[in-house]
Structure formats: structure tokens, C-alpha cells
Amino acid sequence: FVPAPIVTISRQSGSRGSYFGSRLALKLGYQRLHREVIDTICQTAGYRKRVVESLDDRFRGQLELMVESVFTGQTFDHTDYFMHLGRIVLSMSRLGGVILMGRGGNFILGPKRGFHMRFVAPRQKRIQNLVTYKLMQPAAAEKLVQQSDESRSHFIRKLFDADIDDPQNYDMVVNAAYMDIEELVEVAIKAIQAKFEKLQYLDHEAD
């Protein structure tokens, strides 16, 4: 059994990364999980239990070791939420076929267990997108962009001691200012396929 790949999408507010995630999930037939859904799973014992029980016995044991290896040496408190986050994201990587929005999924999975994207755009473009697509007032949109940039950067810095804007943390960084979303979906699918074909080749080489 080879699971379908998992795709993580980190994005700046107003960059249209969330809409891209929806279109990519539809095209691939994947499930798109927004951060609110992930938080609910992490905080609800029944959801966590169902996700973990969907794995085979061998991998359940490996999961605990993987979580510990991910979080060992990190500069944050091991709260229940963060530990659950690691378990859920790693579980999803085993199941595959998921578009994971935010929550540092790329840092939890690492470079070989997913395809990791980052969506960015110039600040004024992002504000305009929120006005156009979310029907926000310009002042409110500007405030949201500022607060979102700060909170997401803080989350990644606190949990993973990493810079959310470092391009080396992603397979693909997209400046979506002048890019058509539908065309980007096609480009991303080709890149996803190319990466996992390469990984399979490297795995065979190591055998």
C-alpha cells in the first residue's frame, strides 16, 4: 500500500493560497483540511482516536517515535495541543490524499514526507484581494494582513524555531500577484508528481 502524497500549503493572508488549496484538492480528489479543522481534531479525543486507529498497528508504534523525534530539542513547552498536532499531521501523512493548510505541516513532516508550498504576494495586493474577494473594508483588510503576518510568524518561530518566510523550508514558493490560480494548479500537480517520482527513484537506489 502506497498512500497518496500529502501537500502542505503555507500562505500569507490575502495571497489566495486558501482558494488555491481548494482548487488543488478538487483537481486531485484530495481532502482539504483548514487549520480550524486541524485544531478541532487535535482538541477532540474522539477525532484523534479515529485518525490514529485508521493506521495499522506497526505504524502506530512508529508514530510515537516520529513525534518524539520531531519535537526533541525544540524550544517550546510540550503542551497537549502541540503533541496532538504532531500526531495528527504525521498520521495524515501515512493516510495521504490530503491538502493540509497551515499549522506548520511542512516542518512536522520534513522534506521527504510531503510536497510543501508557500503562497506570498505584495502587501497591497493582499489587501486588495481581501477587499475584492472577502468584501472587507480597506482598513480592516490592512489590519488583518498585519495581524495575520505577525501571528503566523510567531507560531512557527515558537513551535519550530524557524522562519516562516525562509524559502528553503518549501518545495515551491509562489508569488501569486500576477499568476492565474487555475494555471498554478496544473503547474503544482506536475511538480508534485515530479518530486514523488524522484523520491521513489532515490528509495529504489538505496535498496
Instruction: Tell me which residue of 12, 10, 20 sits closest to 148, measured CA to CA.
Output: 12
Which residues have CB under 8 Å from 49's CB, separation 6+?
A: none
Q: Which three cell numbers stand for residue 131?
A: 477587499
- Taking only the tens of pLDDT, the chain with its 207 residues reads 456 788 999 999 999 999 999 999 999 998 887 766 666 666 665 555 555 554 444 444 544 544 444 444 444 444 566 777 777 777 777 777 889 888 888 998 888 889 999 999 999 999 999 999 999 999 999 999 999 999 999 988 888 889 999 999 999 999 999 999 999 999 999 999 999 888 887 766 655
Kindly provide the b/e burial profile for residues 77-91, where b requires at least 16 CB atoms within 10 angstroms of the residue's own CB. Answer: eeeeebebbbbbbbb
Kindly provide the b/e burial profile for residues 128-157, where b requires at least 16 CB atoms within 10 angstroms of the residue's own CB. Answer: ebbbeeeebeeeebbebbeebbeebeeebe
Q: Which pLDDT score is estimated for 53?
A: 54
| Separation CA 100–CA 116 (nearest Å) | 9
Sheet holding 172-175, edge to edge: 31-33, 98-101, 6-11, 115-120, 172-175
